[in-house]
Amino acid sequence: MQTLSAQTDTISPQHLRLNTGFLQPGVKQYLVYFQAPAHSNWLGLSLWTREIEKSSWQQEPVFRITQHWYSEDSTRYLESYSINRAADFSPLYHAETRGKEQKAYRWSAREITGDTTANNKAAGFKLAFDSPSYNWNLDMETFEMLPLKAGKTFVIHFYDAGLEPPKYVTYKVTGSEVLQLNGRQTVDCWKLFTEGDSPRGHYTQTFWISKDGHEFLKEEDFFGGFYRYKIKLSGAAPHLPERFSR
């Protein structure tokens, strides 16, 4: 990896660890929407719920994180379930279900392998790691646990289960901004920025994390000619999974 400045922190389970004391249990819901500047009368809307619980797994304290991604198209619904070590947020297990297809993985510092769960489409998957990584599917939670401050740069070792090998991704604190929430409440936030290239071209991402509560409040991305926004909803929003199960 290239030589980094003194202001850069390498974030991984074997380098500088995340501060898991910042991660608060509970339900967090986000309005996620796409905007295509070339189509002035269209928005793509969805809602994500992310529930964080403190629990135990194989006699070890863990975080259990359950996600539901809803939209007007039921075929795009996704449910994921992740288990991470409470001490340092190291991934231990990750599963995703979309439609009738499930992929489930056992995760360690050395490798990731398909789980023995019945009908697991990833049962034969195996990938060895050179070093431990964090679950990229939980980037929003990861950012809440960073030691954010002015001028900082973070290089995070991320991996997206079942895809290409892990890589280091650079995120920079580019400044701060005061967001106005419901009821004219204002919150001072750090702005975290990253950019890179993908098969769809160059992309940029900006994240707003509150300075006091370490809450992930907003995200704005641009890629492939589209903007994508994620906005955290207030606690007044109903918890949808509970109502679907009735």
2 pLDDT more than 60: no
Helices and strands, counts by H and E, the chain:
2, 16
pTM of the model: 0.92
Band of pLDDT at residue 3, cut at 50, 70 and 90: very low
| Count of Cβ atoms closer than 10 Å to residue 149 Cβ | 11
Strand ranges (E), 58-152? 60-71, 78-85, 91-98, 101-107, 111-114, 126-128, 134-135
Is the residue at 136 inside a domain?
yes
Is the residue at 54 inside a domain?
yes
Is the residue at 183 inside a domain?
yes
Host domain of residue 157: 8-244
Q: Is 179 helix (H, G, I), strand (E, B) or coil?
A: strand
4 pLDDT more than 60: no
| ∠ Cα 169 174 179 (to 5°) | 115
| ∠ Cα 137 143 147 (to 5°) | 150
Where does the chain have alpha helices with state H?
Answer: 139-144, 240-244
Q: Is 94 helix (H, G, I), strand (E, B) or coil?
A: strand
The helix (H) or strand (E) run that includes residue 227 is strand 226-232
Is the residue at 214 inside a domain?
yes
pLDDT per position as a tens digit, 162-201:
998 999 999 999 999 999 988 789 999 999 999 998 887 8
Band of pLDDT at residue 7, cut at 50, 70 and 90: confident
Express as a percent the part of the chain with pLDDT over 70.
97
Q: If you ran DSSP here, which 8-state letter would residue 2 be given?
A: -
Average pLDDT over residues 79-87: 98
Is the residue at 2 inside a domain?
no
Tally of domains in the chain: 1
Is the residue at 126 inside a domain?
yes
pLDDT per position as a tens digit, 211-224:
999 999 999 999 98
The residue among 203, 206, 192 whose CA lies nearest residue 153 is 192
CA torsion 231→232→235→238, rounded to 10°?
60
Assign 3-state DSSP to the chain and report helix, strand, coil percentages, each to 5.
Answer: 10, 55, 35
Taking the C-alpha atoms of residue 183 and residue 74, their distance in angstroms, rounded to an integer, is: 33
pLDDT per position as a tens digit, 223-240:
988 999 999 998 888 888
